[in-house]
Amino acid sequence: MINNNLMQALSEQTKHKAQKREFRMLAQLLAQQFHIHQGCHLVGLLGNGDEHNNVEAIAYWLAEKGEYIEEMKVLHVDPLNHLHNELGKKLINAEHGI
pLDDT for 71 equals 92
Digit-coded pLDDT (tens) for 34-62: 999 889 999 999 999 999 999 999 999 99
Cβ within 8 Å of residue 37, ≥6 positions away: 54
Digit-coded pLDDT (tens) for 55-79: 999 999 999 998 998 899 899 988 8
Report DSSP state, residue 50: -
Closest by CA to 78, choosing from 63, 68, 91, 86, is 68
pLDDT for 40 equals 94
Instruction: Flag whether pLDDT at 28 surpasses 90.
Output: yes
The DSSP annotation for 76-91 comes to T---HHHHHHHHHHHH
Instruction: Flag whether pLDDT at 1 surpasses 70.
Output: no
Instruction: Flag whether pLDDT at 10 surpasses 80.
Output: no
Q: What is the pTM of this model?
A: 0.83
pLDDT-derived band at 6 (thresholds 50, 70, 90) equals low
Q: What is the largest CA-CA distance in the chain?
A: 57
Listed by start position, the domains of the chain span: 2-95
Instruction: Flag whether pLDDT at 17 surpasses 80.
Output: yes
